[in-house]
Amino acid sequence: MSKKNNIYVIGHKNPDTDSICSAISYAYLKNELSQKQEEGAKYIPTRAGHINEETQYVLKYFEQEAPLYVNDIRPQVTDIEIRKTAGIEAGLSLKKAWDIMRGARIVSLPILEDEKLAGIITVSDIAYSDMDVYDNMILSKAGTSYKNIVETIDGEMIVGDLDGEFEEGHVLIAAANPDMMEGYIEPQDMVILGNRYESQLCAIEMDAQCIVVCMGATVSKTIRKMAKEHGCRIIVSPYDTYTVARLINHSMPVRYFMTTDNLITFHTTDYVDDIQEIMAKRRFRDFPITDNQGNYVGMISRRNLLDLERKKLILVDHNEKAQAVDGFEEAEILEIIDHHRLGNIETNSPVYFRNQPVGCTATIITQMYMENDVTIPEKIAGLLCSAILSDTLMFRSPTCTALDHLVAEKLASIAHIDIEQYARDMFDAGSNLREKSAKEIFYQDFKKFNDSNINFGVGQISSMNKEELSACKGKLLPYMEEVRTSYGLDMVFFMMTDIINESTELLMVGEMCKEVIENAFETTVEDSSAELPGVVSRKKQLIPAILGQLS
């Protein structure tokens, strides 16, 4: 199936369990519907970041592969229609290369060695080889094979064999009488001549390496015998002497004329906007493409960029620029399925947008299975249920609705799991915090936001072990300042949420943090930290409170 039919279903950066499981589950649903409707589209679950340990536990439990990792969705060379121009060997003749280019109406041919690009030969290279004046040793300097010579002049080797190359000697035309020929024929020369017995005999006796008999003339048995005794090859060509002399240089191998230095090549993974400037500055018409192993793939030209199609995306569990995969502006967004506040992503055309005030994107996707009368497989049900349990903190979050609870119960039944026990195991797998670095903890679930020209970020971890959460504080605060500086953020917050006690210790860095949080929650900030009883939801409790203060 063509890559043009690929549609990527992707969650937000630093994905959580809902983001990953919703991408897999929605891609499965869309593929089922695509088959029913014979659309031919292929929906691919994708992720824009590292999978945290909680989500890894879920994927392993339900035997699911991690979605394809994509850190930048900009169009790549692999998205261009690459012309599959077949490569040739370096020993091929100029004439054969010309015939191939003329037949295919192309101006460049790649020369390959073990599937690797060794050089490029162009129509211009062949034209220069024909127009430039060479001495009469050019054939031997180029190491021209006898196979090429015979093929180029439509000849037949009647004495000797085709193996080997013409590696030394001149190419001469025997236009004079034998007495004069003795003065300029040297051993190992190649002599082009007619049907004159004396000239043929003279060339052989002067130890010519090869004689080329023109006009298809018959070569006597005596001459053949003499040639064998002297180790001289005999080639008979149907062409006249002028034509043979004109064509014979076309038998030289392309390796002698091909370009090998400073080749401009691109990889299939290169981004189109990175190569456009390079292509514009070069006068070449075609550019070779190689894969990650360095093997030749094909050729592209500037014209191919006109037919470039943007990648197609479906966004799940987010609708804000700061959270979207890099390069999404250059993709075509087809759908957005989300349960967060309306963000700032703009599209070039109308899209299917579904946003519901529920606790989890997976709840919406489960509804869509039911609405389209698609059976939910046991393992997909497990993924969807895991996402709901994670996002709603096992129904403790204020974002949790009756619909989330009802859907999770139904999914648990299909997946054959006990919600209470499974949720505890899942949270335990994700909250092994003591052995993790500050970076690993911080990026388990981190999102950036913008309001009133104020940029801030909020991360969150949840655990059933309060002591484990408290142990993270010392290493998180210094790292948060690094994050704030590197991203150019005004404020960075981090929620350490105690699932059992339904409370959060909020860590913060940034000049405005203390004032914003104390006013928003009527609490006291000490040592860059504040206790927020009853606050467990970033989406419904913390973010609205911060935005309320900023506005």
Query: Over the stretch 138-194, which tens digit does the pLDDT of each residue have?
Result: 899 999 999 999 999 999 999 999 999 999 999 999 877 777 777 788 999 999 998
Q: Tell me what the mean pLDDT of segment 427-450 comes to.
A: 86
pLDDT in tens, 383-393: 999 999 999 99
**If pLDDT is split at 50, 70 and 90, which confidence band does 57 have?**
very high
Residue 433 has a pLDDT of 78
| Weakest mean pLDDT among 206-215, 345-354, 372-381, 464-473 | 464-473
Is residue 361 within 8 Å of residue 399, measured between CB atoms?
Answer: no
Residue 435 has a pLDDT of 77
What domains sit in the chain, N to C, each tagged with a CATH number?
A: 6-75+310-427 (3.90.1640.10), 78-129+256-305 (3.10.580.10), 144-251 (3.40.1390.20), 438-550 (3.10.310.20)
Q: What is the CA radius of gyration of the chain?
A: 37
529-319-10 Cα angle (round to 5) = 105
- How far apart CA 480 and CA 508 sit, in angstroms, is 8
Q: Tell me what the mean pLDDT of segment 447-459 comes to.
A: 89
Residue 536 has a pLDDT of 93
> In this model, does residue 89 exceed pLDDT 90?
yes
Tokens of residue 474, six digits? 């010392």
**If pLDDT is split at 50, 70 and 90, which confidence band does 450 have?**
confident
Is residue 365 within 8 Å of residue 26, measured between CB atoms?
Answer: yes
Residue 308 has a pLDDT of 80
Residue 1 has a pLDDT of 42
Question: What proportion of the chain, given as a percentage, has pLDDT over 70?
Answer: 99
Helix, strand and coil percent figures for the chain, each rounded to 5: 40, 25, 35
**If pLDDT is split at 50, 70 and 90, which confidence band does 359 have?**
very high
Q: Tell me what the mean pLDDT of segment 496-513 comes to.
A: 93
Tokens of residue 343, six digits? 């963000």
Residue 404 has a pLDDT of 97
Computed over every residue of the chain, the mean pLDDT equals 91
384: left (phi over 0), alpha (psi -120 to 50) or beta: alpha
Q: Tell me what the mean pLDDT of segment 340-345 comes to.
A: 89
> In this model, does residue 545 exceed pLDDT 90?
yes
> In this model, does residue 94 exceed pLDDT 90?
yes
Helical (H) or strand (E) element with 122: strand 116-122
Residue 2 has a pLDDT of 52
**If pLDDT is split at 50, 70 and 90, which confidence band does 133 have?**
low
- How far apart CA 330 and CA 311 sit, in angstroms, is 8
